[in-house]
Structure formats: structure tokens, C-alpha cells
Amino acid sequence: MRVNTVNKAQKVAGTCISCHESIDVGQGYYWAAAFRSPRVVRHIECGPFRASQIASNDKLSSLYSAQEAVEDWIEGSQGETFTLDDAQAVMEEAADAVEEVGEQYSEGASSIEDGFGHPTSQSEEMTDHADECSDWASALRDALDSLSEFDDSDDEDEDDTEKTDLTDEEKFDAWRQEVFTAMQDAANECPL
């Protein structure tokens, strides 16, 4: 979908989908419209559109929203203290949303096959999308399995002299970065 930019509105352009305020004369904005869909607008100050806001259908929008939720949590947790359970809860929520989309694809494929009495290329494509969603949901759930909770105890390993020189804050920062990397890698596996 093409995103258009208007530097100065010559008339009221509508309501921004981000801040929900009117885009008045003289303000800059972005706009986009999917085929046979209403036009969406966003202030330039609110930043560019997110993929979920301009996706061509609800299923894709939901998938992109799940991915964006993980990215938003990572961005909002920079410099914050959290537990591995907090991060896992975010990944579970995203995986649940992805599985729901997978179920919608699977139901759509079943409906097509029931209607025609046999599989079609479209039903096979929808079944493939359902399988991809299921795989991605599993990847989201399993992303943090290899990591353990942050341990700030002063246990010193003789083999690990390099890490003993780090402060607790530096150790937590390194652990936090490992968690963020695992989460982002899993979020980037969006199949569609």
C-alpha cells in the first residue's frame, strides 16, 4: 500500500488514527487507503504508519499488532527492571494472538473445502498460512526457554573471571540485552 505525505493540509483531513485529534488546515499528515477501504490519516508529528494500521486485511493487521506489541514492550522496558516471567507473559500474549489468526485461516480453509467439496488452491494457501502461524506462535513461546532468571548473587566461577569484574547493574544490562535479543529475533519471524 502506498503512503502519501501532505506537508500542509488545505482542508480538514480527518482524525489522526494515533492521537485521535483532528488534522486541521496547515498541519502535515500521512494518508493511505487500501483497495475499497476508507482512507486513514496520521499527523506527521505522530510518526509514520505502523504495519498493523495499514494492513490490507484484519488477519494481517492482527499478526503485525502481535509483532508490534513485543517491539513496544522491548522499547518501553529499556532501562527498566523486569523478570523473565514478565517477558514470557508478553511473548505468551503475542503467541495467543498469532494462534487466533491461525485458527481463522484454518476455519476459512475448511469453509472453502466444505463449499466446494474438495481442496482448492485458495484453501491450500490458507492452510499453509495457518501452519505458518502455528509455527510462529511456537517460536514466540519458546524464545525465552534457553534463558534463566537474572541471578545477582556473587557466586564466582573460576572459569569466568571476566564477568566477576562487572557490577550488578552491568550484569543485569547484559542479561536484559539477551532477553531483548531473543524476543526480537522471535518477533521478526513473522511469516506473512
**Mean pLDDT computed over 114-121:** 93
Q: Each residue of 39-68: pLDDT tens digit?
A: 999 999 999 999 999 988 899 999 999 999
pLDDT of residue 163: 52
What is the pLDDT, as a whole number, of residue 154? 58
Give the pLDDT confidence score for residue 156 in this predicted structure: 52
Q: Where are the alpha helices (DSSP H) in the chain?
A: 58-76, 84-116, 121-142, 161-164, 168-187
pLDDT tens digits for 161-174? 555 678 888 899 99
Q: What local confidence, expressed as pLDDT, does residue 80 receive?
A: 87
pLDDT tens for each residue of 80-94: 889 999 999 999 999
Q: Which amino acid is at 75?
A: E
Mean model confidence pLDDT for the chain: 91
- pTM for this model (two decimals): 0.84
Q: Is the pLDDT of residue 160 over 80?
A: no
